[in-house]
Structures are given as C-alpha cells and as structure tokens.
Amino acid sequence: MIKIYGIKNCDTMKKAMAWLTENGIAFEFTDYKKAGVAEAHLPDWAARTGWEVLLNRRGLMWKKLSDDERAATMETKAGPGVDVEKALKLMAQYPSLIKRPVLDTGDKLLVSFSPETYAAELK
C-alpha cells in the first residue's frame, strides 16, 4: 500500500490526499510531526531522493532558523559547504523542514505534490 507522510493541516497534503482519493488510490497517512517517524525515515528518504529534495527552504520554519543552522545546508563560493548529517538532524528536529508530502510507493519516493507527476507515476 502507498504510504503518504506529512503534516495533517498542510494545504498541499490535503490536495495530495484528495487527488489520491479522487483517483481511487488507497493510501495510509502518517503525520510525521505527531507520530515522530521522520527521524527514522530520513536516511532512507535522503538516499532515495537526495536530502536537497527533502529540505523545504521556502517555509516559515526555514526562516526561523538561525544563520548558523541555515549555513550548514548551504553551498559556499568555495564549493559545497553542505553537511548532510546536519541537514538530516535539522529535519529530524524540525519536521516542518521536510517538504510535503512524501509519498512512498515501495518502489518510488515522490516528494511534493504535482497532479501531473502523481498521474504519471501512480497510474
């Protein structure tokens, strides 16, 4: 069964779950903020998609981080200044930093919601 992870009250999550329901695709939803499962899944998700895909740099939580916390996940002019472990730790500490939804088909991991992508990958 398809598993979808995210935060229940997120508008993008609501759109994704509505799309799945309207298209007759069964899924199991896990609110990773409440269930505390993000940390356990992050290494696998990062290996499957890249941590850069998972990190939500556009949300309010990102803006609330200190400059030092954000710097751990940024590239510098001298080259990549990225510390993957720090990025995963930040996402585990602040699940709102994980892009939503994360949809796991078993074979594929889709991050974010696009009706076109879902249609192409799930039908």
* Residues tagged active-site: 10
3-state helix, strand, coil in the chain (%, to 5): 50, 20, 30
Q: How many CB atoms lie within 10 A of CB 17?
A: 20
Asked if residue 94 lies in contact with residue 7, where contact means CB atoms within 8 angstroms, the answer is no
Q: What's the sign of the alpha-carbon dihedral 63, 93, 19, 44?
A: positive
Cβ atoms within 10 A of the Cβ of 91, count? 25
For residues 56 and 113, the answer to whether their CB atoms sit within 8 Å is no
Place of tokens 């472990």: 85
